[in-house]
Each structure stands twice: as structure tokens, then as C-alpha cells.
A and B are shown apart, each in its own frame.
Chain A
Amino acid sequence: MKDFRLLAQALDLGIPDSERERLVAPLEALEASFRPLLARLELETEPAYLLILAEEDPR
């Protein structure tokens, strides 16, 4: 698990100490649900930055 407290400090984002703490719990929860999904990726899987619904919208 990433250490979001250290990460926030290291990135020097200008987040005051008092506000940094409240970021940790939601980011840890998101990380816990996101990280296992990466196992589903295959090497060739392309990102879908613009979702052009190709089958419905050929161009």
C-alpha cells in the first residue's frame, strides 16, 4: 500500500499538514479497490481516452 502521507509531503503540493491527513483514508480505500483490478490488464490493452463507440459510430 502506498504511504499517501509521505507521498503528499514528497510531492510538495502545498497541502497544509492539517488538510493532508483527511486525504489519506479515501485514497487508501480507493487504492485498495483499484490495485487488484490491474491484474486484468493484458500487455496490449489500449487506453480509451476518447470513447468513440466504434460499432455504433464508424468513422
Chain B
Amino acid sequence: MNIQEVSLRLRRREISSVELVRQALDRIERDSSRLNSFLTIRAEAALERARRLDEELAAGGARSPLHGIPVAVKDVFCTRGVRTTCGSLLFADYVPDHDAAVVERLEAAGAVIVGKTGMHELAYGITSNNPHFGAVRNPWNPEHVPGGSSGGSGAAVAAGEVFLAMGSDTGGSIRIPAAWCGCAGLKPTTGRVSRYGVMPLDFTLDHMGPLTRSVRDAAIGLNVLAGHDPRDPTSSRRPVDDYLPPPEVSLRGIRIGVPENFFFERLDPEAAGAARRMIELAGELGGDLVPVTVPDIAELNTLARVILLAEAAAVMSPYLSDRSKFGPDVLALLDQGRMISAADYINAQRLRRIAWKEFAGVWGKADCLLTPTTPIPAPRIGQTQTELGGAVEDVRLAATRYVRAVNLLGLPALSMPCGFSSTGLPLGLQIIGKPFEEALILRIGAALEDATDFHRREPPLE
């Protein structure tokens, strides 16, 4: 079931929020040793809240389609009175005195937060193989990573533990786990969803968004999450849309941009084939397929990496006196960041302005871009290199190759399931849109989802 279906059943009194929350807690317990998707579980508080929401529903009505629905938030979102670790020993005992804006909005909408999901240490990596809290595992094959940094959120949604889990995305950290776990993941436009109360990795590139079982569920999530927040200096005052696509969606008249360069180079043939088939499907559904040459994405990735290395090192520099508190991969990145000069950082930000202007030219030709989300399916836990096109490549750099530049440009992007590898691992399609065009990319995603069944398949849980 997805959020739309279960919300209807709640309103018809065919099921209660208490029953849904109990089911979620049972599944989390069932999967805990196999997947390790949660760092903190709020069983009693969630059940008590579900009881109140059931009473509220009986007395009046639903606050939103999320009323009474069990959800989770990555352990990067501050929760008042509840430990928020950021997947780090530094914050192992940190109990915030405030809620993140995202938590406030979910709770105001009637969602029930059952716990905090596991993640890559400090949200700085793509495996969620956490040296302090254990590796999060992929529900499709627990010997493989779920992606990251929001790996616990991807695993929890894919395993059917919760209907929605919040993630953060600095260089693909929502879209990569969505692709590798076989669910939908939405990184909104810069400023669309408040970052207030989220432990930062990078001030320029951080974005917050939902991971869900379907594209329409991601739209329901964004309807709750989007909006201005004066506590976040990047928050947009632009009015929000209704993001939920209608039941019948046509792609007629939509210019579907098909990249002619970069996005189909050096990738697993199965990942390429799955994305190509979805592009063909978009054409069959009425979309106008438009070949597009995009600006040099490798250059944009370079700028994003310079900015991320420098900003993350700045954020963490007060804590680096005790190196024993960091895992080796994160520590290496923080050390690299401290070697970036101030002049190089500023020049990367200057080049970012040029990049944004150049990339705007793409939108004169197309309304969106369809690309693979990642060049590879989920690697094995502990795997650090992959071979693509005859060349050996660092797994982290390969995984972020198609997603990182989107953060630099501030664009909205959706990852949705588009097939499976011959080894049974999910593959993702990325739909990139113009700034604040979340409604359009969700509409395109819904049309493709309605014509396929990848999102309805369930991992083989034991």
C-alpha cells in the first residue's frame, strides 16, 4: 500500500493509526538485525500519538493525507528531547531542545514519527556503512549497501517499515539511496524546503526531501514540507504549488530532454538500458523527446567538490582536535577540505554563478532532463572501486557522477525506479527540472510510474 491508499482506509475507519504504527514497529523489529535501518525508535511516544490522532480523526477529520501515517526522519533532523546523532560519535548523546522545521511540518500534518533512521557518518558519504553504529543494509540484498547518506531512510521505505522517510541531499544523498533501494526520492529546488534544525554538512549544497514508495507519495510529502521559513536564510518566498499529480496524467506537449553527452557515458549497460527504456516510454506516453547537449557536467562536479570539501571542513573544524571520533573515510575528506585555499573556494563559488547562467540555456530547449540516477547498481558493503568502460573508478565518485551537479545548480530532481539489474538490484531514473518545477517533474514521474510496476515490487525479506 502507498500513502494515498492507506490514508483512504484510515478515513474509512478500515484501519487505525495505532494499528499502522504497531505494524511499522513490528517490521522495524523484524528487520533490525538484517537491515539496521533505524538508530532510534520512539515506540511508546509513537503509539500514544497515534491514539490521539485516531481520536482526532473520529471527532473531526484528517489534518492532511499524512494524518496517522507512520514516517521516519534521518538522524540529521533535530528532534526536541530525542537523541540526534548525525551518525557520529561527536553527537552520540546530543539531545536537541528544538525540532527541525521538517519535523514541525510533518507533525502538524498529523504524521507519526516512529524513529530516526541510520545514515552515513555526518551525512558525508554514499554507503551508510557507518563505523560507529554499524552498516545499514540494502533490503534487496543485505550484502549490498543501501546508498547514502540517507541509507536508513531508503532501506526503511523499501522494506515497508514506514511510508515516508526524510532524507538530506548534498551530492545525491536522497537520490542515490532511492535508486539503490528501489523507491522514489525527491531533492527539491534550493529554498523550497527549510533546512532549519538540520545538522549541516554544507551550507551551499544541502537540501531536504522525502523518500517514499511511489512518486505520488513524494508529492504528498512535498505538499506538507514546502514553504517559506524565515529561520532558513535560503528559504524561498515563492508560493507553493499543489504537487500531487492527477489520477490520469498525459505527457503530451512536454519537452523531454534526452542528454546527448555525459549522462550515458561510462555506465553499467543495464543501468543505461533501463533509463533508455523509460525515455522511450515517455515518448510513447506523448512526450516530445528532444536531444539536448548539456554543459560540461564533469566541470560542475569539480566545482561542487571544491565547495563541499571546504564547507564541510569549516563546519567540522572545531571538532577535529580529537581524530578518534571520526571514521577513516570521513576524516580523509575533512583533511582534504582543510587543504582547499580560501581563494579556490571563492573562485569555485564565482564559477558556480557562471555555471548556473550557462545551464539555464538547457531550459530553452527542454522542460526536463531524463538521466540514469547512478551509473551502477548498489555496490557490495566494503567495495570501494568499480570498473566502468574498462577503467577502475572510486565508487563514491562514480555514484555521485550524475547527481552532484544538480545540487550545485539548485535544481529539483526526482529519482524513481526504472528496472532491475540481472542480479536483482534496483536501478533508478533521474528527472531533473527547472527551478521550482517540482510539480512538473512529479507529473512526469507519475505518468511513467503508472505505466510500469517497478514501484510495486517488494524486496525478498526473510
Contact = CB atoms under 8 A, between A and B. Distances in A.
Given A33-B302, A34-B306, A41-B347, A53 B435 contact: yes
Contacts of B348: 34
Nearest to A59: B237
B435 to A, nearest CB: 5
Given A14-B321, A22-B332, A30-B305, A52 B234 contact: yes
Contacts of A13: 335, 338
A53 B189 contact: yes
Contacts of A8: 335, 339
Given A41-B347, A53-B191, A48 B353 contact: yes
Contacts of A23: 332, 335-336, 339
A37 B170 CA distance: 22
Q: Is the interface of B mostly helix, strand, loop or mixed?
A: helix
B233 interface: yes
Interface residues of B, number: 39
Contacts of A34: 302-303, 306, 344, 348
Interface in A5-41: 7-8, 11, 13-15, 19, 22-23, 26-27, 30, 33-34, 37-38, 40-41
Of the listed residues B306, B350, B410, the one surrounded by the most CB atoms of chain A closer than 10 A to its CB is B350
Nearest to A51: B410
B58 interface: no
Contacts of A56: 238, 435-436
Given A47-B349, A48-B352, A57-B191, A37 B302 contact: yes
B149 interface: no
Contacts of B346: 47
Given A23-B335, A37-B303, A46 B350 contact: yes
B204 A49 contact: yes
A48 B356 CA distance: 10
Contacts of B321: 14
Contact of A27 (B234, B303, B339, B352): B339
A41 B234 CA distance: 25
A3 B233 CA distance: 38
Contacts of B306: 30, 34
Contact of A51 (B190, B238, B336): B190
A52 B305 CA distance: 20
A8 B341 CA distance: 12
A45 B236 contact: no
B354 A40 contact: yes
B320 interface: yes
A51 B147 CA distance: 27
B335 A7 contact: no
B352 A51 contact: yes
A41 B349 CA distance: 11
Given A34-B344, A37-B299, A53 B436 contact: yes
B298 interface: yes
Interface in B113-139: none
Contacts of A46: 350, 353
Contact of A40 (B309, B323, B335, B351): B351
A47 B323 CA distance: 32
A35 to B, nearest CB: 9
Contacts of B332: 19, 22-23, 26
Contacts of A47: 346, 349-350, 352-353
Interface string B350-382: 111110100000000000000000000000000
B335 A19 contact: yes
Interface of A: 4, 7-8, 11, 13-15, 19, 22-23, 26-27, 30, 33-34, 37-38, 40-41, 45-53, 56-57, 59
Interface of B: 189-191, 204, 233-234, 236-238, 298-299, 302-303, 305-306, 309, 320-321, 323, 331-332, 335-336, 338-339, 344, 346-354, 356, 410, 435-436
8 contacts: A13-B335, A23-B339, A37-B299, A45-B354, A47-B352, A48-B353, A50-B234, A53-B236
Given A23-B336, A26-B332, A33-B298, 7 more contacts: A30-B306, A40-B354, A48-B349, A48-B353, A48-B356, A51-B204, A56-B435
